[in-house]
Amino acid sequence: MGTESACRSASEPTPYGMSLLDQFDHLRVAAYAALDSDRSSLGQYFTPAPVATLLASMVPSTAAASVSILDPGAGVGMLSAAAIIRLESLGVKKIN
């Protein structure tokens, strides 16, 4: 993350007028539209924002000041973005 985005809450609008999650959702839609039928038939799937938000809501509360996230996916980062927003809402100060 650049210094500008590191100082802003992940759920706040960016200079582009959209939240981080909205920006990732636009990337997801564009990436899905660019898939050829072979990749689609092999099961490549990009998580929609509402699904990522639901999954992130399952992250339990923590008293930790620092949390590390490992996203094993290879998409646009929708699950990571939703998890970061959730952890911020729980008061986590440092997210790696």
Range list of H helices, 1-96: 3-6, 20-34, 37-41, 49-56, 78-89
**Per-residue pLDDT reduced to its tens digit, 56-91:** 999 888 878 888 888 777 677 888 888 888 998 888
Asked if residue 82 lies in contact with residue 52, where contact means CB atoms within 8 angstroms, the answer is yes
Cα separation of 27 and 32, whole Å?
Answer: 8
pTM for the structure as a whole: 0.62
